[in-house]
């Protein structure tokens, strides 16, 4: 099934292939290649708007996830009955916000990947609302990014590493 | 008597005519708005195909078809041209960033750029490039507010990108579109700012588009290949910023051509 990228913003010049290659690898590591996944790149204004509507937080942010399968247990791979339900949902990436947070020595596409991986973990039921759930999510992100690092040579750290 | 009658408003003029005795020849403020229908038997000024027509009854002396309708039409066009010029954003066409050279031929515009031995040409036509708005019913019920809230018209033409490498004999041609559903786009749509619809090779020497060349349709395309094509365009300066600037240019050109058309139309209606 497909990974679909959309770039709805013009603030940050964005190449699609580097992000796709990394996220295809992440999907493969997580074992969810047979599911559709949307990654939508937006600017601060758009992600702030979405954040306000769905989370009542009127500020820009880095990532918002909209799962197709709700109430999954952390790490549970959905078992759909119908072909159309092989879909994980959509990840909105605040690429402008991420660019502003990106440090000089960091590769922008690596940081986009770290952020999208965090969003993908949310689509698979991981949360970080308590320390216990955060531990599970952190471990999963760490495992995925370490494996990605083995494949690409990049040293990547989970987005959720300093949450608790 | 004729000059006095010309001052009578059209509606009143017809009513006056309607009250005349049937046998009395009707006086008309202007000659034959509907050609032969108004020709009276025995009239000294009956027109003939072989005879030059007399001067226009409106008094201008032009000898052509000249109706009150034409006069009103010209007045309407004058007002419309004035209004359109008032809201015209760009008196001259806006420049595209990125070193594009603009050539305009009527409604067709061509942007050309040479980068490292490659020639990139983007062509679009402003005819039929303004998508229809679908909120007509709502507008008409709003009455007075319609004029105040009239949305700005935006021209979003399809555009064709041609890439020719090192003076080669064939061009890679990418047919690009803006999303059709503008309403969805403005809300929380997930459409790209522009998309590639078709890709093919065409010979640079031939002006005719060859349908016998294979055309790649992106509807059922592998997304990875699609992303490579989008990056290929971005590397050549055709990205979201370019697409935005093209809308601005196309909207300005469309408006300019619209005003020129109105002026031509006014001149045509006035001329004999």
The pLDDT value given to residue B61: 64
**pLDDT value of position A77:** 95
Cβ-defined contact of A24 to B224 (cutoff 8 Å): yes
Q: Name the residue ranges covered by the structural domains of chain A.
A: 3-152
Sheet holding B101-105, edge to edge: B101-105, B108-115, B118-125, B159-165, B170-177, B195-203, B215-217
Reading the block at residue B148, the tokens are 């105040």
pLDDT digits (tens, 9 = 90+) for B151-181: 789 999 999 999 999 888 899 999 999 998 6
| Chain B contact present for A156, CB below 8 A | no
> At residue B257, does pLDDT exceed 70?
yes
Q: Output the CA–CA distances (angstroms, integers) from residue A116 to A8, A9, B103, B192, in the order listed.
A: 16, 17, 43, 19
Residues 6+ apart with CB under 8 A from A4: A36, A37, A38, A39, B223
- Asked if B223's CB is within 8 angstroms of A10's CB, the reply is no
- What digits encode the pLDDT tens for the residues B185-234? 444 567 899 999 999 999 987 777 778 889 999 998 999 999 999 999 99
Q: Which one is predicted more confidently, B148 or B12? A: B148
| pLDDT score for A127 | 96
Q: What pLDDT is stored for residue B43 in this prediction?
A: 42
Candidate from A4, A9, A15 with C-beta closest to B231: A15
What CATH number is given to the structural domain containing B216?
3.10.280.10
For residue B248, being part of any structural domain is answered with: yes
Give the architecture-level CATH label for domain A3-152. 3-Layer(aba) Sandwich (3.40)
pLDDT digits (tens, 9 = 90+) for A28-74: 999 999 999 999 999 999 999 999 999 999 999 999 999 999 989 99
Length of chain A: 164
Q: Which chain B residues have a beta carbon less than 8 Å from that of A10?
A: 193, 239-241, 243-244
| Residue B35 DSSP code | G
As a three-state string, the secondary structure of A71-112 is: CCCCCCCCCCCCHHHCEEEEEEEEHHHHHHHCCCCCCHHHHH
pLDDT of residue B27: 40
**Whole-number pLDDT of residue A132:** 95
Of A3, A5, A9, the CB nearest to B240: A9
The answer to whether residue A1 scores a pLDDT higher than 80 is no
This model of the complex carries an ipTM of 0.93
Q: Which domain holds residue B244?
A: 97-128+153-181+190-253
> What mean pLDDT is predicted for residues B232-238?
97
Residue B140 within any structural domain of the chain: no
| Residue B81 pLDDT | 96
Per-residue pLDDT band at B271 (split at 50, 70, 90): confident
Count up the domains in chain B and report the number: 1
Which residue out of A5, A36, A47 would a mutagenesis test of the B interface target, given it has the greatest number of B Cβ atoms within 10 Å?
A: A5
The beta-carbon contacts of B212-216 under 8 Å, at least 24 apart in sequence, are: none
In a domain, B54, yes or no: no
Cβ of A7 within 8 Å of Cβ of B193? The answer is yes
Is B49 among the domain residues?
no
SS3 category, B105: strand
- B48 by DSSP, 3-state: which? coil
Per-residue model confidence (pLDDT) at position B20: 35
Q: Is B80 within a domain?
A: no
pLDDT score for B7: 31
SS (H, E, C) B189-223: CCCCCCEEEEEEEEECCCCCCCCCCCEEEHHHCCH
Contacts of A40 in chain B (CB under 8 A): 190
A52 vs B: CB within 8 A? no
* Assigned domain for B65 exists: no
Average pLDDT over every residue of B261-269: 95
Query: Which two structure tokens, joined as six digits, stand for B206?
Result: 């031939």
* Chain A environment of B191 (Cβ under 8 Å): 6, 8
pLDDT(B111) > 90: yes
Structural tokens at position B11: 């509606």
- How many contacts does A have with B, using Cβ atoms within 8 A? 44
Tokens read off for B93: 């066409």
């Amino acid at each position: 099934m497909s990974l679909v990228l959309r770039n709805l913003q013009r603030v940050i010049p964005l190449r699609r292939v580097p992000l796709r290659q990394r996220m295809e690898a992440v999907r493969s590591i997580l074992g969810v290649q047979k599911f559709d996944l949307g990654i939508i790149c937006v600017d601060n204004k758009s992600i702030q708007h979405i954040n306000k509507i769905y989370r009542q937080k009127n500020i820009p942010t880095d990532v918002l996830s909209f799962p197709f399968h709700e109430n999954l247990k952390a790490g549970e791979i959905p078992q759909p009955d119908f072909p159309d339900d092989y879909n994980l949902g959509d990840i909105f990436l605040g690429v402008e916000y991420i660019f502003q947070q990106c440090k000089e020595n960091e590769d922008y596409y690596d940081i986009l990947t770290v952020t999208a991986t965090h969003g993908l973990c949310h689509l698979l039921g991981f949360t970080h609302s308590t320390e216990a759930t955060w531990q599970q999510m952190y471990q999963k992100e760490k495992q995925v990014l370490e494996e990605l690092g083995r494949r690409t040579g990049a040293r990547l750290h989970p987005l959720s590493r300093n949450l608790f | 008597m004729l000059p006095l009658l010309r001052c009578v408003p059209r509606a009143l003029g017809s009513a006056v005519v309607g009250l005349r005795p049937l046998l009395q020849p009707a006086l008309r403020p202007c000659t034959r708005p509907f050609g032969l229908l108004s020709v009276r038997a025995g009239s000294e000024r009956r027109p003939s195909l072989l005879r030059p027509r007399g001067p226009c009854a409106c008094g201008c002396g032009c000898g052509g078809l000249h109706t009150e309708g034409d006069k009103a039409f010209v007045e309407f066009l004058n007002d419309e041209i004035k209004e359109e010029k008032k809201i015209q954003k760009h008196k001259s066409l806006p420049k595209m960033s990125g070193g594009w050279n603009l050539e305009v031929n009527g409604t067709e515009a061509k942007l050309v750029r040479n980068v490292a031995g490659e020639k990139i040409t983007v062509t679009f036509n402003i005819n039929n490039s303004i998508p229809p708005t679908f909120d007509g019913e709502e507008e008409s019920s709003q009455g007075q507010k319609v004029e105040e809230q009239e949305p700005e018209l935006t021209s979003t033409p399809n555009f064709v990108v041609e890439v020719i490498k090192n003076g080669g004999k064939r061009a890679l041609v990418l047919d690009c579109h803006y999303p059709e559903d503008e309403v969805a786009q403005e809300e929380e749509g997930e459409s790209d700012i522009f998309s590639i619809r078709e890709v093919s090779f065409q010979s640079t020497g031939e002006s005719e588009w060859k349908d016998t060349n294979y055309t790649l349709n992106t509807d059922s395309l592998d997304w990875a290949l699609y992303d490579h094509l989008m990056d290929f365009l971005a590397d050549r300066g055709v990205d979201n910023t370019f697409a935005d600037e093209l809308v601005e240019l196309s909207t300005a050109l469309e408006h300019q051509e619209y005003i020129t058309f109105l002026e031509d139309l006014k001149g045509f209606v006035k001329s004999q």
